[in-house]
Each structure stands twice: as structure tokens, then as C-alpha cells.
Amino acid sequence: MTTSTQSNRLLSDDAIAFVTDLQRRFGPRRDELLAARRRTGPPRDFLPGTADVRAADWQVAPAPPALQDRRVEITGPTRPKMAVNALNSGAKVWLADLEDANTPHWDNVLEGQQVLYDVARRRLEFTSPEGKHYSLDDGPLATVVVRPRGWHLDEKHLPVDGRPMAGALLDFGLHFFHNAAELVSREEGPYYYLPKLESHHEARLWNDVFGHAQAALGIPHGTIRATVLIETINAAFEMDEILYEMREHASGLNAGRWDYLFSLIKNFRESGPEFVLPDRSAVSMTTPFMAAYSDLLVATCHRRGAFAMGGMAAFIPTKDPVTNESALAQVRADKSREAAAGYDGSWVAHPGLVAICREEFDAVLGERPNQLDRQFPDTVVSADDLLDLASADGDVTEAGVRANVSVSLRYLASWLGGDGAAAIDNLMEDAATVEISRSQLWQWIRHGTETDRGRVIDRAYVEGVLAAEAASISEGLDDTTRARLRQARDLFARVVLAEEYLDFLTTPAYADYVE
């Protein structure tokens, strides 16, 4: 929780003027691009109009020293305790998440900015209610890369000219205004992860925002570095174009599994049964269409001198040695696969996984900081490869239906309580989990998909599962948490059982619950 003094500093007249200027300059273009999303149908191929960009020889700007070695990145929300633990974890980078792992309650938004303010000045510390003290180590810390909200999310608490401003511009603007000069003086930033892009036009907008912000505050042009998450099928068809638009500020691309699958389901939800996926647990990065996406990302990045960053290991170590042994073996195998495939680093969600990730990348990298020297000229990925969802083996099962409902209810109850990163079934979950879970359920209902036991998935069936899971989860909860669970059930039912598909994070159902 930020104090009134801290809030006054974060929201000073000069800071408000800076973010208001960003909104007035770039908000209309952002609105136009969001409207273009709604007009555009599902992507089916690479863009013919940008073939020359894909064919030409060009590279992004070289990475600054702080981002040369990214073999292990830890992700997490900007809560003080988790921030300290991430920075001290031994990871090379901390993805400070203002997006999927954060409930955008106004207190959380301000607290995240205050944490980043203190981190930039190496003075963050925290004492828990139990009296345990957390502080930053004296030695090297993870480099901070901030993930603001995506273009699609509004910030209603700070309207400009009577309308909500873009959450992305607020998150970036406040962080850049307060910390850019300090980070430059320490050769530590400012660096960003950009989520949910759907076109190179959206990348161009970010690049223009960066150029203006640097000029406005006297920061040398090209100081900012940004890594773009390729977590939509739209962006997968425009990897080259996205890097080209941001070539003065681009650092790399990241492969985001759950959001990418969510994007595929969302875009092709009304298409034929060949676009209906099995249980989400059955789809891995070795599934042919996912492997194609992964191979294309690595080849594209290295051709352009950009870093290719692997996906998340979300497991949370437990006190059960049997559970740990099995899960950690899977994490190790996943990181080994990524390192062998040419990725320059990968993500973990818990400090206990940093060593495993580092060991697997050390085994491939040796003394090298990255694998940018590895080129993949023989990699050829077609549109059909990216859209071959029928290549996914596995079934739709009743257990998969229950899992989608159960994890979504528990996550949303946590999210409503202000915690956007929730430990569920030994996994660190964020908003991406709910997005893919509810989209799968909606699509299965729409197509009347049958489970492996012949049960047709319809609204009545999902309503029954929803009621049963909510009743089971509510046992033993206190009144406050039980009330949040009821809210979670109401919110989840709105988007899963709706006749028309709703954009969950931009529907009024979402805004109703943001404090």
C-alpha cells in the first residue's frame, strides 16, 4: 500500500502532465488500431504487402550490456516481497508484471509504480505482518524489464478529457517519467516487455511513443529496449514486421504459450472442428503447430540480431518430494529443449527454478552470453504449419472441463481480492489461465464437442460443473472469500455461458469489478 506522500509524488503535476500528453498524442491512434482489430477477420497467411521487409537484410539495434545475457528470467507481480525475492533470485532479468499477474485495482497500480521507483534506486525493503524483513542484496540484482498493460485495457481512474486513458500509456508513462534518468545513470534501463500486440502497426505506435518520451525527457534516442511477446496468432504472422518497426528499440521476442493458444481459439472459435483443441494440458510446445511457431520465432529473431526468449515454467516447488521430483524433471526437460532449440533464455515463476533453468542454458551456452550466433536458414514455416491445430493429439475430457472451471474460479476469486498471481495446484497462475480456460469452454459449447466418454458439452453440462466446483471450493472458506467466490462464479458464467463470445478483459463485466 502506498502512503499519501508516495502517491502525491507518483501523481505529481509534472507526472500527470507527462502521461496526459502521451494520451492526447497517441490515444486516438490506439483507439483506431483497436477498431481495426474488430474489423479484421482471423489471420490466414503472412502479409503480402510486407514481403519486402521479410526478404530484406536488416537487424535490430545491438543489445545494451545489461541485456546481453538473459539465460534466466523470473516473472512476477510488483508486490514488495515478491519483487525482493525475484531481484535476489540469481536470475538475469526480472519481468516486473503490471499486466497479467496484477489485478488493476488503483491501489495495486500505484503500489507497483512505487515498488519500481524504489527498485530503480536500490532501496526497496519490506517487513511482513509476521515480522520477517526482506531487503535487496548488496551484489548484482536481476535487471528489471517492466511489462505494462496491453493496448486493449483502459485505466478508468485517471480520465483524460472525460475518457479513460490507455492503461499501457499510464503504466509506461509513470515508470518512464520517474525512473528513466535514474536507470540510465546506472546503465540498467529503461527496458520493457510489450504484451498482446496484434500487428506491426501496433508496434509502430509503441516505437513512436518511445521516441516522443525520450525526446520529451532528454533521454538519448534508442535508450529504451523492448521485447515483444508473440502471444497472438496475428503477431505470429508479423514477427519480422514487428521487429522492423521497432528496430531502433527492439531487444527480442518471447514465446507465450497460454495466451497464444487463447488467441488461436478466440480467432477461430466459429471455424470448423479442425480448430477445436483438446484439453489444454494435452497441448505442449512439441505439438506440431506449436513447434512451428517456436521454430519460426527463434529463426526470425536470430536472423535479425534479436533475442529469442522461451516460455514459462510455472511450477511452484512443494514440500512433497514425489511431486517435486516429477515436476522438476518436466521443468528441466522443457528448459533443455528450449536451449537446444536456440532460445537465448527462458522464464520461471519461482526462485526455486532459477538454478534448473540456468544449468540447462549453461550446458549449451558455456561462456557465451547468448546464442545469437546460431542461425537457422533452413527453417521454413508456412501458414498451414501455424494453423494446423488438428495436429494436436489428445482428447477433450470431463476432467479437462472440470479443471478449466476449477482453476478459473479459484484464480478469479484471488483476482477479485487484489492478487493477480495465484498459486493453484502447485502452479503460479495469472490471467492467461482464465482466458484460455473460458475460451475453450465457450468453444466446446458452441461446437457441441463430445468428451472422450461421449458426453456432449452444452450449457447445462457446464452450468452443472460450475455449480459443483463452486460448492466444493467454498467448503471451509471464510465469509469474505466465499463472497468473492460467488462474484467469481457470476463473472465466469457471464463470459462462458454467453451466446456471443465476449472479450473478457474489455467487457463491462470486467470493469464492474475493478476498484
423 burial (CB, 10 Å; 0-12 / 13-18 / 19+) is middle
First to last CA, the chain: 14
| CA dihedral of 502, 503, 508, 511, whole degrees rounded to 10 | 140
Q: What residue type is 273 in one-letter code? A: P
Distance CA 45, CA 327 (A): 37
Neighbours of 179 (CB within 10 A): 23
Q: What is the DSSP letter of 44?
A: -
Crossing angle of helices 288-303 and 257-267, in 10° steps, is 110
One DSSP character per residue, 319-334 reads S-HHHHHHHHHHHHHH
Strand partners, 346: 72
Distance CA 201, CA 178 (A): 28
Distance CA 21, CA 179 (A): 18
Give the chain's radius of gyration (CA, Å): 22
Residue pair 145/192 in contact by the 8 Å Cβ criterion: yes
Decide if 430 is catalytic: yes
Distance CA 485, CA 483 (A): 5
Catalytic residue among 70, 71, 147, 304: 147
Distance CA 350, CA 170 (A): 28
Crossing angle of helices 459-474 and 479-496, in 10° steps, is 170
367 burial (CB, 10 Å; 0-12 / 13-18 / 19+) is exposed
Catalytic residue among 97, 154, 430, 489: 430
Three-point CA angle 162, 166, 172, nearest 5°: 130
Decide if 79 is catalytic: no
Q: What residue type is 103 in one-letter code? A: T
Distance CA 253, CA 426 (A): 28
Q: Which residue, among 254, 158, 146, 116, has the nearest Cα to 210 in the 3D structure?
A: 146
Residue pair 312/72 in contact by the 8 Å Cβ criterion: no
Catalytic site positions: 147, 430
